[in-house]
Amino acid sequence: MELNEIIQKRIEKLNLLRQRGICPYPNKFTRSHLIKDLLKEYNEGQEVAIAGRIMAKRQHGKAAFADLRDFSGKIQLYFQLDTVGKDSFLLFEAVDIGDFIGVKGHIFKTRTGELTVKVNEFVILSKSLRPLPEKWHGLKDIELRYRQRYLDLIVNQNIKEVFLMRTKIIAAIRNFLEKKGFVEVETPMLHTVAGGAAGRPFQTYHNEYNMELFLRIAPELFLKRLLIGGFEKVFEINRSFRNEGISTRHNPEFTMLEIYSAYDDYRDMMVLVKEIINYVAQQVLGKIKFDFQGKEIDLSGEWVERSFAEAVKDKFDISAEDDTDTIIAKLNKKGKNIKERLSRMQVVRLVEEFLQEEQETRPIFFTDYFSILCPLAKTKPDNPLISERFELFIAGMELANAYSELNDPQEQRRRFLEEIEEEQKDKKLDEDYILALEYGMPPAGGLGIGIDRLVMLFLNQPSIKDVILFPLLRPEKEE
């Protein structure tokens, strides 16, 4: 039967219900139990009231069976003509797979031992007009799964488990940080100046104030304002936005954990990020060795540390003192074939990508980044060309980034101006942040962790779209 025919038949059933004075979309149904509670503890003959979606339906003369699923689980229903009465039994014929119903009845077990509710009465709670994807074929089209996530969650129970586990991961992070004395805060998503990280912002406009605004790239500068204001240990689990490319590891809207701790530095953040990741792995997975895309990830023992400056020197003969033309020439000598004119920062980011391609599955800290890449980080006391920064990679994915935070207002102003000149953009200097720094900020370590990528790692998901409920997609092509 064609889809349009199925929809039309369901509409006819809907109209028939209304003609009989039955509301197909009532306001409320009071449940006595969730299905998982009934499955957990069996009480023969217990009276129950449950509700959910019909996932299967089987009729046998004067009896009928159905599978009912709520958020917590699935249970079998048994309808008997003599029990529910002729009118209600005929009404059940108007129920389709996908409809929501509420039932009242009592618990028993069938001869095969299956827990079942013998229905005394039922009510249609929501009549579905479209059929669910076929039971055995499921929802296989990846694009359709992302675009119609609600269907994905209905027919692919393992997908629902991914997002339940994501919630547990975030809860474990909160629990760990609160035990460590960190305070969770919220900072603005609308910024007057785009800053706090490298990235192209989304622009918007506030009509009342006649003001151009940006969706935040990162919450960093507001969180450091809180350090200035006297908060010493803060964190935010935040949504940030970057108007850039989309890939298996990038979505324009993403979730970050950002942490700032007064009187600490990037080395303290190195200890902290390892503690967080190990704690969450134990709490959520129950282990610190697990598979990710066919590779075993082992979080135990010492994590590897590697100098970015030494790595690019060894591989490309590039030094922090080199200008852009020199770096491009050295890369091309190694066969990279870079022809277009790029900024120094863009070139060094290309170098980062080449190094990331060689990542192993062990957790690895890259340290000693060129200061040109780190306008918000302090430099090494003995080498102003190298910053006190690390990036953490696991299985080739960047999961975390940390600095010893720059708190010198004059140096910060110089860095911002240099960055604007280097990138040749119409970027504004954040004068309010400089003003705040002039009141004094304690030395601090800052740490950012990509929540979406962390979930990918822990739950063995190949794409960031698999761990974001509603990822951004291209517009559908018109037929």
For the segment 307-321, what is each residue's pLDDT rounded down to a tens digit?
988 988 888 888 888
The Cα 319–Cα 204 span in angstroms is: 40
Residue type, 360: E
Q: Report all structural domains of the chain as residue ranges with CATH numbers, in order of start.
A: 3-132 (2.40.50.140), 153-466 (3.30.930.10)
Q: Which residues pair with 289 in a beta bridge?
A: 298
Q: CA–CA separation, 456 vs 471, rounded Å?
A: 14
pLDDT at 136 over 50: no
pTM of the model: 0.90
Return the pLDDT at 461.
95
pLDDT digits (tens, 9 = 90+) for 418-456: 877 766 566 788 999 999 999 999 999 999 999 999 999
Distance CA 80, CA 97 (A): 19
Predicted local distance difference test score (pLDDT) of residue 372: 82
Can you tell me the mean pLDDT for 133-160?
78
State pLDDT tens for residues 259-287: 999 999 999 999 999 999 999 999 999 99
- Residue 440 corresponds to which tokens in the numbers above? 């004094």
Q: Nearest-CA neighbor of 346 among 417, 425, 256?
A: 425
Let me know: does 415 contact 403? Beta carbons within 8 Å: no
166-215 per-position pLDDT tens digit = 999 999 999 999 999 999 999 999 998 888 777 788 999 999 999 999 99
Instruction: Please give the sequence-ordered ranges of beta strands (E in DSSP) within 315-375, or none if there are none.
Output: 364-367
Nearest to 185 by CA among 238, 256, 230, 239: 238
* CA-based nearest residue to 447, from 326, 277, 208, 246: 277
User: What gap in Å lies between CA 160 and CA 145, rounded to an integer?
Assistant: 12
407 contacts 195 by C-beta, under 8 angstroms:
no
Worst-scoring range by mean pLDDT, 74-78, 230-234, 412-416? Answer: 412-416
